[in-house]
Amino acid sequence: MSSQETPRRPTIADVAREAGVATSTASVVFSGKAKVAPATRERVLAAAADLGYAGPDPRAASLRRGRSGIVAVVLEGHLRAAFLDPVTTALMDGLTDGLAELSAGILLMRDEPGEEGAGIADAPVDAVVLIGCSARTRSSLEIVVGRGLPVVVIEGDAGESIPRITLDNAAASADIARHVRDLGHRDVALVTLPLDTERERTAITPERLANATVDVTIHRLAGTREIFPDALAISAAGSLIDEGVLVGRMLLADPATRPTAVLAQSDLLAVGVIRAAEEAGLRVPEDLSVAGFDGIALDGLGDLSLTTSVQPAVEKGRAAGEQIARMLRGEPGITQHLTCRFHAGTTTGPAPR
Amino acid sequence: MSSQETPRRPTIADVAREAGVATSTASVVFSGKAKVAPATRERVLAAAADLGYAGPDPRAASLRRGRSGIVAVVLEGHLRAAFLDPVTTALMDGLTDGLAELSAGILLMRDEPGEEGAGIADAPVDAVVLIGCSARTRSSLEIVVGRGLPVVVIEGDAGESIPRITLDNAAASADIARHVRDLGHRDVALVTLPLDTERERTAITPERLANATVDVTIHRLAGTREIFPDALAISAAGSLIDEGVLVGRMLLADPATRPTAVLAQSDLLAVGVIRAAEEAGLRVPEDLSVAGFDGIALDGLGDLSLTTSVQPAVEKGRAAGEQIARMLRGEPGITQHLTCRFHAGTTTGPAPR
DNA sequence: TTGTAGGCGTTATCAG
DNA sequence: CTGATAACGCCTACAA
């Protein structure tokens, strides 16, 4: 009935009017982009407080500036699974560092194939980081590129001109294998990461390998097979200690066919294998040598130090963040190849004769 | 020189012109908010493909709609530390579920006290979830409320009218303590979560407790002390296995003062204590009973099943998400109290005589 | 230092 | 079913 009909949120224009200044002046007071006389400034702030104005609307500001201050991170699979992997969390950590100069927020997204609406297509982001680019991620990539957003792909092949952050997975795996071979092992079994999004726990056949989509798994396996071409390989359903236990049991069940060394594609899997060995009454490394991959800080291995290849997980994230920052500055993003460092631990030893 | 001066991204207006329709029609084609004749639709899509138009700019759409489709999650401390805690990841998982109907993205934010720019103040979000509301989070809360955004606080007291998701931490802790007391234990020590953002590893004195700011810690401790009023309590520096090991060593070092049971405020801490016990040559539960809290799926406890209280972590996130969805729909958010379920495992047994 | 004006790219509304 | 028009709230040349 009265003039209170529309109690809509005040805008910067209202504040300016209340303070008796131009809207541009009020705007500048909040953005700090120019000098304003202290007196004017005070009046604007007072008016804002008076009206309950909490600062510029970020949505309007994004449109005007053409920047939202948000970077999307696209993860494969369920969010929870992703963060269960210490490598991912380390990576995220580095990413926040690398993005620090932008003071950008991180928007978590899954690469949901079918779903509408939720996707990257409708998110107000300035750039995108794709992690573990697999077949499913490809569609996300297309959308992002179509929208002209800067992209960086971590550990995956995005083709042509997309900057990537890669690891020398094959070479590092070969290093580990060589170490084990030099210790005299000939009878070696492998535990790999999942081959595809099916995440099946199964012996790897040439056909299956041909259909594999996860680059990390493929590359690490290729590196290992440079040294042990015929080693039995079983894919785990994920990078988890419990998966390592399960696969370890399969591998160690039959004393007749039991290998003298097991090379796992992740430290978590390796820990699981060690646990399976303990269950079976085998001593590590006397009866069985075990190596991992990643070099994450392992919680709960007792006095053993895992033989592994230490990957620069945090560095990976940081590098991605830095490339994003560059691209947002208008400079071209560049692909970076990071390398792992071999660590000889106490979980590998001379082959039992 | 030529007309190619400004190769700016095409807008929906360009597409409409190219297709020979009104911008509003083109808009509707993309949003699907109204029926469009198939022929017209095709023409618009063709024009879009032609011009390389990848769909409406989300920034402009957010401004117009007044919605960005993003919900912020404010975590305490370093991102990595937060995701190291399985309870947090489970919670995030539930949150994505609860938010599913909104198909909203999740923006990760830290509650950085001093820093400018990065904060919640400038993020284009529709709502905010505050986790583990501590003193530091208060300032975030003020900003958010000032901006008139819907908020839900998980496990923390936000005062007055802010909807919360809470747990019966005290009651559940008392349940565990009672179980242990009924097993005959009288000599019990406690390992708590951090008391405040200082995260000091130290014996808890009444003064320290009075200055504590983390509600979860305080409530769980209060519940336990209903049963064991005088039990020695040591605060850990975080919810980590390794912290549990450190505090466990402190507790078990001296055989003369060694307790017969240790109650930890998180499962991770409990696992650490068990590990410390193993180090000290103690058998669990024969020589030492250990209980945790959370009921997370523990990776790597061998055959032991931890005595604990299972908190509905996923449910907590889901509930928060649902409240956010409600509030965004215009309905008032309501506070929800969730309850834990006691789980008697094999890590607790009769007190040694 | 302060004010004026125009537009960022959409979408809601309402008339045809 | 389609089209014209008016905001959404802000920022930034440019002019005074």
pLDDT tens digits along A102-120: 878 899 887 765 554 467 8
Could you give the residue range(s) of every CATH 3.40.50.2300 domain in chain B?
65-166+313-338, 169-311
For residues B163 and B133, the answer to whether their CB atoms sit within 8 Å is no
Distances (CA, A) of A161 to A134, A167, A198, A335, A340: 17, 18, 29, 9, 25
Question: Do B115 and A103 lie within an 8 Å CB cutoff?
Answer: yes
Tell me which of B68, B74, B112 to substitute to probe the interface with A (most A C-beta atoms closer than 10 Å): B68
B55, B115, B122 ranked by CB distance to A69: nearest:
B122
- The stretch A323-351 carries a mean pLDDT of 94
DSSP B129: E
Instruction: Look at residue B138 in the predicted model and tell me its pLDDT.
Output: 75
Question: Do A59 and B68 lie within an 8 Å CB cutoff?
Answer: yes
- The stretch A87-111 carries a mean pLDDT of 86
Query: Which residues 37-56 of chain B have a CB under 7 Å from nucleic chain D?
Result: 37, 39-41
Q: Closest Cα to residue B73, out of B165, B196, B193, B192? A: B165
Look at the block and give the residue holding tokens 């400004």.
Answer: B6
Question: Do A96 and B90 lie within an 8 Å CB cutoff?
Answer: no
Instruction: Look at residue A14 in the predicted model and tell me its pLDDT.
Output: 92
Top-level class of domain B65-166+313-338:
alpha beta
- Closest residue (Cα, C1') to C9: B60
**A31 CA from C1 C1′ (Å):** 16
Instruction: Look at residue A8 in the predicted model and tell me its pLDDT.
Output: 74
Please determine, for residue A1, whether its predicted confidence score (pLDDT) is greater than 60: no
CB atoms inside a 10 Å sphere around CB B173:
26
Look at the block and give the residue holding tokens 């399960």.
Answer: A246
Q: Closest Cα to residue A138, out of A109, A106, A167, A113? A: A113
Contacts for B96 with CB less than 8 Å, ≥ 6 apart: A79, B106, B317, B321
Tell me which of A8, A50, A59 to substitute to probe the interface with B (most B C-beta atoms closer than 10 Å): A59
Check if residue B60 sits with its Cβ under 7 angstroms from strand C: yes
Chain A CB contacts of B55 under 8 Å are 121-122, 147
B57, B90, B106 ranked by CB distance to A108: nearest:
B106
Instruction: Look at residue B6 in the predicted model and tell me its pLDDT.
Output: 45
Q: How far apart are CA A99 and CA B108, in angstroms?
A: 13
Contacts for B337 with CB less than 8 Å, ≥ 6 apart: B166, B167, B168
Check if residue A121 sits with its Cβ under 7 angstroms from strand C: no
Q: How far apart are CA A203 and CA A221, in angstroms?
A: 13
Instruction: Look at residue A6 in the predicted model and tell me its pLDDT.
Output: 45
Instruction: Look at residue A113 in the predicted model and tell me its pLDDT.
Output: 54
Question: Do A108 and B108 lie within an 8 Å CB cutoff?
Answer: yes
Look at the block and give the residue holding tokens 């008391």.
Answer: B195
Contacts for B236 with CB less than 8 Å, ≥ 6 apart: B191, B192, B193, B194, B201, B243, B244, B246, B247, B265, B269
Identify the helix (H) or strand (E) that includes residue B28: helix B23-31
Instruction: Look at residue A118 in the predicted model and tell me its pLDDT.
Output: 60
Question: Do B118 and A104 lie within an 8 Å CB cutoff?
Answer: yes
Contacts for A65 with CB less than 8 Å, ≥ 6 apart: none
**Pair of tokens at residue A126:** 């300035």
Helix (H), strand (E), coil (C) string for chain A: CCHHHCCCCCCHHHHHHHHCCCHHHHHHHHHCCCCCCHHHHHHHHHHHHHHCCCCCCHHHHHHHHCCCCEEEEEECCCHHHHHHCHHHHHHHHHHHHHCHHHCCEEEEEECCCCCCCCCHHHCCCCEEEEECCCHHHHHHHHHHHHCCCCEEEECCCCCCCCCEEEECHHHHHHHHHHHHHHCCCCCEEEEECCCCCCCCCEECCHHHHHCCCCHHHHHHHHHHHHHCCCCEEEECCCCCHHHHHHHHHHHHCCCCCCCCEEEECCHHHHHHHHHHHHHCCCCCCCCCEEECCECCCCCCCCCCCCEEEECCHHHHHHHHHHHHHHHHCCCCCCCEEECCEEECCCCCCCCCC
Instruction: Look at residue B96 in the predicted model and tell me its pLDDT.
Output: 86
Beta bridge partners of B131: B154
For residues B119 and B98, the answer to whether their CB atoms sit within 8 Å is no
Instruction: Look at residue B1 in the predicted model and tell me its pLDDT.
Output: 38
Average confidence (pLDDT) per 10 residues, chain B, 353 residues:
56 92 93 87 93 93 93 82 83 88 84 61 92 72 88 84 94 98 97 91 95 92 98 94 93 94 96 92 95 83 87 95 92 94 96 88
Instruction: Look at residue A117 in the predicted model and tell me its pLDDT.
Output: 46
Check if residue B54 sits with its Cβ under 7 angstroms from strand C: no
Q: How far apart are CA A96 and CA A350, in angstroms?
A: 42
A62, A80, A272 ranked by CB distance to B93: nearest:
A80
Q: Between A244 and A1, whose confidence is greater?
A: A244
Among 3.40.50.300, 3.40.50.2300, 3.40.50.720, 2.30.30.100, what is the CATH number of A169-311? 3.40.50.2300
> Which nucleotide C1' is nearest B39 CA?
D1
Q: Between A98 and B260, whose confidence is greater?
A: B260
> Which nucleotide C1' is nearest A26 CA?
C2
Q: Closest Cα to residue A196, out of A77, A84, A109? A: A77
Q: For the packed helices A12-19 and A38-51, what is the interaxial angle rounded to 10 degrees?
A: 120
Beta bridge partners of B202: B235
Check if residue B20 sits with its Cβ under 7 angstroms from strand D: yes
Instruction: Look at residue A75 in the predicted model and tell me its pLDDT.
Output: 85
Instruction: Look at residue B297 in the predicted model and tell me its pLDDT.
Output: 66
Q: Which of strand D's nucleotides are less than 7 A from any protein C-beta? A: 1-13
> Which nucleotide C1' is nearest A61 CA?
D10
Please determine, for residue A282, whether its predicted confidence score (pLDDT) is greater than 60: yes
CB atoms inside a 10 Å sphere around CB A90:
22
For residues B214 and B195, the answer to whether their CB atoms sit within 8 Å is yes
Q: Is B285 helix (H, G, I), strand (E, B) or coil?
A: coil
Instruction: Look at residue A302 in the predicted model and tell me its pLDDT.
Output: 66
Instruction: Look at residue B113 in the predicted model and tell me its pLDDT.
Output: 54
DSSP B289: E
**Pair of tokens at residue A276:** 């399976």
Instruction: Look at residue B5 in the predicted model and tell me its pLDDT.
Output: 42
**B63 CA from C16 C1′ (Å):** 28
Burial class (CB in 10 A: 0-12, 13-18, 19+), B352: middle
**Pair of tokens at residue B281:** 């040559």
**A251 CA from D1 C1′ (Å):** 67
Q: Between A135 and B62, whose confidence is greater?
A: B62
Count CA atoms closer than 13 A to B132's CA, side-chain side. Answer: 22
Count CA atoms closer than 13 A to B183's CA, side-chain side. Answer: 29
Look at the block and give the residue holding tokens 């003039």.
Answer: A3
Mean per-residue pLDDT of chain A: 89
Instruction: Look at residue B150 in the predicted model and tell me its pLDDT.
Output: 93
Question: Do A79 and B58 lie within an 8 Å CB cutoff?
Answer: no
Distances (CA, A) of A156 to A115, A169, A240, B96, B185: 23, 11, 21, 26, 55
Minimum Cα–Cα distance from B58: chain A residue:
A124
Chain B CB contacts of A89 under 8 Å are 79-80, 83-84
